[in-house]
A and B are shown apart, each in its own frame.
Chain A
Amino acid sequence: MSGVERVKIYSGYERLWHWVQAGSVMVLLATGLEVRGVVSVLGFRGAVRLHEVMGFFLIGNAFLGLFYFLTSGAIRQYVAAPRDFATLAVRQVLYYARGIFRGEPHPVERTPRARLNPLQKIVYVGILNVLLPLQILTGLAIWGLERWPGVERAVGGLDVLVPVHALGSWLFATFVVAHVYLTTTAGRRPLSGIRAMVTGWDEVEPHPAPTGKEVTP
């Protein structure tokens, strides 16, 4: 295919933030499994300690990221604004269901200022606005049982907190599986997406697809 251009997709901080967050999530999932008694590597106490440390690390990184996205304007990446957003989302679904097997081009052009397709926006809005806060709040409540016993009583105790936190963890784990796979569909080659998140650079294919008017910063 002609017209491929090499563009800088991710800034250095974005890549650092992503991998720190990814690492935190993976460690949290692994230690969470041990705290729940599924595996035994570090021992219960070690797993709890590491889980707590990584939890706070993730919270700190999340807030730094929020600060960055707000101040840099990159937060707009996550805002679903085009009028034909639904149409594009349907096209994206059809692409995954059919077009990708026929070698059709991506229905949404990927640019440094519009990296996310409509489906990604829906997922990230859900994760960053619902799932991550839910995990942070339930995690803090579990961590703070001794400090804030009133919170535990108010929400129904560990009987409620742990299952909700566990559900969030399962959803995060599911997201990780789907996310890693879908990166293989994002670029020209299966590993292009991952490489881009490492180097920051990606090869994009400008095409005349009706992209609508993406809001860019």
Chain B
Amino acid sequence: MRLPAGPVVALALGALVGLAHAGSPMHPDVPLLDTEGNRVLETGKPVSPVRTCGQCHDAEFIEGHDFHATLGFDERKAPGTVPGGRPWDTSAGPFGRWDPATNRRLALGDETSFDLGVADWIRTVGLRHVGGGPARLGESGKPLGSESGSLPETHALDAATGRPVRWDWAASGTVELNCFLCHVAGARDDARRATLAAGRFEWAATATLAGTGLVAPAADGTYAYVREAFTRWGATDRTRMPLGRPTAAACGACHLDVVEGPVPVGAVEAARPRDPRSGGQVFSAQRVSDSAWNLRDKERRTHVFDVHAERLVGCTDCHHSLNDPARFVEADVSRPRHLAYDARRASVGEFVRRPSHDLAKGTSSRPHAASALDGTMRRCDACHDVLEDHGRWLPSARRHAQALSCEACHVPEVPAAAVAQTDWTVLDAAGRPMVAWRGVSGPVDDPASLVTGYQPVLLPRKESDGRTRLVPHTLETTWTWWGGSPERPVRPFDLRAALLAGPGVHHRDVLAALDVDRDGSLDPSELRLDAPAKVAAVRARLEAVGIERPRIVGTIEPTGLHHGIVSREATRSCEACHADGSLLARPFEVARYVPSGATTELVADARVWLAGRLVAGADGSLVYEPSPKEAGRYVLGHDDAGWIDRLGLLLLVGTALGVAGHAAARALAARRARRSS
């Protein structure tokens, strides 16, 4: 097969740029150690980042101050007691919170419908986990596998039977906090993920170094060390393993679409963003018109994806360490009112020894891990003098800033595709849910599909300064079956057992109900439960595999859009909001279709709310119609005065008709008088 030269060259350049990232010139070369503290060159065992980096840094402190490691593990509560959570949620973070879109759920200790054990969690949800925390320790605080823990800690789901089977932690090892993933330029996340998915947990950090030349894959799926690539005294070579502060690309391994270097956005991933759950946000200094996506009006979009990226503002400039002596400013929520600036700072040495990995964060629209740190990130107005700039041209600039988030105008559209709906009520022949996208016409995996982008919906959100502002969001709806006693989301395993007769084949009852064109297979347009008979057929199948009282539940989850900031292209026209077609009231499609008889509501623990109503669209879609008034915003030029306008109009028209009648009567009387005289 002949590969197209352009993308190959671009990829090669990108790889070179990635590797050429020098890291910090201050950082010394280090010997790689295993968990016993011995040099891996001598033992051949997996690298222990905690031991290796712990030679200089306080790794225990770091792991204890890193919400990327805990992901809710340290905030676990008894099921049913998580504020706003579901009866089976045990935390607000990914470790314990059911994610409707993936429909995977960490098993509770005593239940029979076992979905994810901790080992399963590591191999699925945990692919986006940096390691440490629940991937290393059990609830007792001791390493996983060191003693008999709860069922989810000791067992994993057997893909064949759907029952828990004991997991061999001694063979898999645990996942240490993987310092290399973020701090080594050119870290190989793909190799790390593959190792995790294969269950070789203790090799995950070593696999991360696959691109450095220090390690080479072995035939048994582990890694061997390349002696020649190390320095004479057995340390890493900084040209091969540059260590430094995390790059934006490192963050992009799990968050958003972060693209650095010359490889065009979309060169690798067709019309599909790399992170489908990010709402299509792209953090890149590239021009939108230079992307590889087949974008509508592409030649007109000459602005960059994100102006902060263009101006060399990196992720860690805003999401910095909370004890970084150069950046830390105590958030308004916790700062004593009299204290404008806390002069007490950690010294550089103290910071290097013990850098907190709890990063400054904003207030997310959905609860997440470490919500106690919400609002610790500086807001836009901490860097930008909004009134100084906007006050020159924007009437009532202060009032606008109090009512709208900066992103409301500075993220006027998302020039990418984003997931609009995930439907777990049916599965395709491969056992996957049906996913509908917004911002793209045509299959999202087809590079020829036209990416139209989409305009966000503005939702009211109470922010860390106590004010409620309208913030741009995308909304993603997930349809899932719930059932059983006590009620739980139906596991993907049970869905496959109910809907599929075997690999690639739907069960005949499902086929009979859904195969509208009777061609013996179900195409995407047929895979939807849009009629009571179809719902009944699938429900019967679920009951046949033992699910009691299955019902369809729709969950709408908001995702705030805070990246993809534009400057000159921001919304500036008054009429964009102060007119009939105000974007503040622009309808937003929430779901492509509604399964028959299903109800939908915003996820209960969201920090935004739907100030408006959900209505059925003419095409069967579910549409959210925002109401600025319900959001506490009276918008001149858009909102009317209700009954007062109707009364006033009646008064005016009535008066006009009255005087017209009176005038006509006068004219008639005058005419009669003239005739009689």
Interface contact B651-A44, CB-CB below 8 Å:
no
Q: Out of A103, A149, A162, A171, which one reaches B634, CB within 8 Å?
A: A162
Interface contact B396-A37, CB-CB below 8 Å:
no
Q: Does B580 contact A (CB under 8 A)?
A: yes
Q: Does B673 contact A (CB under 8 A)?
A: yes
B632 to chain A, nearest CB (A): 8
Interface contact B648-A103, CB-CB below 8 Å:
no
Interface contact A101-B665, CB-CB below 8 Å:
yes
- Complex: chain A residue closest to B645, CB-CB: A166
User: Which residues of the partner chain A approach B333 to less than 8 Å between Cβ atoms?
Assistant: none
B629 to chain A, nearest CB (A): 7
User: Which residues of the partner chain A approach B639 to less than 8 Å between Cβ atoms?
Assistant: 162
A35-B637, A146-B396 given; A178·B648 CB < 8 A: no
Report the bound CA distance from A146 to B642 in whole Å: 24
Interface contact B578-A37, CB-CB below 8 Å:
yes
Most buried by B among A103, A170, A181: A170
Q: Does A153 contact B (CB under 8 A)?
A: no
Q: Does B666 contact A (CB under 8 A)?
A: yes
Report the bound CA distance from A174 to B578 in whole Å: 26
Q: Does A8 contact B (CB under 8 A)?
A: no
User: Which residues of the partner chain A approach B380 to less than 8 Å between Cβ atoms?
Assistant: none
In this complex, the interface size class of chain A, counting residues with CB under 8 Å from chain B, is 20 to 34
Q: Does A66 contact B (CB under 8 A)?
A: no
Q: Out of B398, B640, B648, which one reaches A170, CB within 8 Å?
A: B648
Interface contact B629-A159, CB-CB below 8 Å:
yes
Report the bound CA distance from A157 to B631 in whole Å: 13
Q: Does B339 contact A (CB under 8 A)?
A: no
User: Which residues of the partner chain A approach B645 to less than 8 Å between Cβ atoms?
Assistant: 166, 170
Report the bound CA distance from A158 to B649 in whole Å: 20
- Complex: chain A residue closest to B576, CB-CB: A44
User: Which residues of the partner chain B approach A83 to less than 8 Å between Cβ atoms?
Assistant: none
Q: Does B655 contact A (CB under 8 A)?
A: yes
Q: Out of B634, B637, B663, B673, which one reaches A159, CB within 8 Å?
A: B634
Interface contact B666-A170, CB-CB below 8 Å:
no
- Complex: chain B residue closest to A168, CB-CB: B648
User: Which residues of the partner chain A approach B642 to less than 8 Å between Cβ atoms?
Assistant: 163
A36-B637, A158-B636, A177-B659 given; A170·B399 CB < 8 A: no
User: Which residues of the partner chain A approach B634 to less than 8 Å between Cβ atoms?
Assistant: 157-159, 162
Mask: chain B, 442-472; 1 = CB below 8 Å from A; 0 = not: 0000000000000000000000000000000
User: Which residues of the partner chain B approach A181 to less than 8 Å between Cβ atoms?
Assistant: 659, 662-663
Mask: chain A, 125-153; 1 = CB below 8 Å from B; 0 = not: 00000000000000000000110010000
A176 to chain B, nearest CB (A): 9
Q: Does B656 contact A (CB under 8 A)?
A: yes
User: Which residues of the partner chain B approach A177 to less than 8 Å between Cβ atoms?
Assistant: 652, 655-656, 659
Interface contact B641-A162, CB-CB below 8 Å:
yes
Interface contact A170-B659, CB-CB below 8 Å:
no
Dominant secondary structure of chain B at its interface with chain A: helix
Interface contact B648-A166, CB-CB below 8 Å:
yes
Interface contact B669-A101, CB-CB below 8 Å:
yes
Interface contact B395-A48, CB-CB below 8 Å:
yes
Q: Does B312 contact A (CB under 8 A)?
A: no
User: Which residues of the partner chain A approach B340 to less than 8 Å between Cβ atoms?
Assistant: none
User: Which residues of the partner chain B approach A174 to less than 8 Å between Cβ atoms?
Assistant: 648, 651-652, 655
Interface contact A44-B663, CB-CB below 8 Å:
no
A28 to chain B, nearest CB (A): 15
B641 to chain A, nearest CB (A): 4
User: Which residues of the partner chain A approach B663 to less than 8 Å between Cβ atoms?
Assistant: 181, 184
- Complex: chain A residue closest to B394, CB-CB: A45
Q: Does A100 contact B (CB under 8 A)?
A: yes
User: Which residues of the partner chain B approach A169 to less than 8 Å between Cβ atoms?
Assistant: 648
Q: Does B638 contact A (CB under 8 A)?
A: yes
A47 to chain B, nearest CB (A): 9
Report the bound CA distance from A171 to B649 in whole Å: 9
- Complex: chain B residue closest to A166, CB-CB: B641
A9 to chain B, nearest CB (A): 22
Q: Does B219 contact A (CB under 8 A)?
A: no
B128 to chain A, nearest CB (A): 43
Restricting to A31-65, which residues have a CB under 8 Å from any CB of B? 35-37, 40, 43-45, 48
Q: Out of A43, A146, A184, which one reaches B575, CB within 8 Å?
A: A43
Q: Does A167 contact B (CB under 8 A)?
A: yes
Report the bound CA distance from A45 to B636 in whole Å: 11
Interface contact A102-B574, CB-CB below 8 Å:
no
Mask: chain A, 89-115; 1 = CB below 8 Å from B; 0 = not: 000000010001111000000000000
Q: Out of B632, B636, B649, B651, which one reaches A35, CB within 8 Å?
A: B636
Report the bound CA distance from A174 to B26 in whole Å: 79
User: Which residues of the partner chain A approach B637 to less than 8 Å between Cβ atoms?
Assistant: 35-37, 44
- Complex: chain B residue closest to A163, CB-CB: B641
Q: Out of B579, B648, B649, B666, which one reaches A101, CB within 8 Å?
A: B666
Q: Does B647 contact A (CB under 8 A)?
A: yes
B576 to chain A, nearest CB (A): 9
Q: Does A173 contact B (CB under 8 A)?
A: yes
User: Which residues of the partner chain B approach A158 to less than 8 Å between Cβ atoms?
Assistant: 634, 636
B638 to chain A, nearest CB (A): 6
Q: Out of A44, A103, A159, A185, which one reaches B578, CB within 8 Å?
A: A44
Q: Does B644 contact A (CB under 8 A)?
A: yes
Mask: chain B, 51-67; 1 = CB below 8 Å from A; 0 = not: 00000000000000000
A45-B395, A178-B655 given; A37·B648 CB < 8 A: no
Interface contact B395-A173, CB-CB below 8 Å:
no
User: Which residues of the partner chain A approach B669 to less than 8 Å between Cβ atoms?
Assistant: 100-103
B392 to chain A, nearest CB (A): 14
Interface contact A170-B575, CB-CB below 8 Å:
no
- Complex: chain B residue closest to A103, CB-CB: B673
Question: Which residues of B approach A to under 8 Å, CB–CB?
Answer: 395-399, 574-575, 578-580, 629, 632, 634, 636-642, 644-645, 647-649, 651-652, 655-656, 659, 662-663, 665-666, 669, 673
Q: List 20 A-B contacts (CB under 8 A).
A: A35-B578, A36-B636, A37-B636, A44-B574, A44-B575, A101-B666, A101-B669, A103-B673, A162-B634, A162-B636, A162-B639, A163-B641, A163-B644, A166-B641, A170-B644, A171-B651, A173-B648, A177-B652, A177-B656, A178-B659
Q: Closest 3 interchain pairs by CB? A: A170-B648, A158-B634, A101-B669
Apart from A101-B666, A174-B648, 5 more pairs, CB < 8 Å = A44-B575, A45-B574, A162-B634, A166-B648, A171-B648
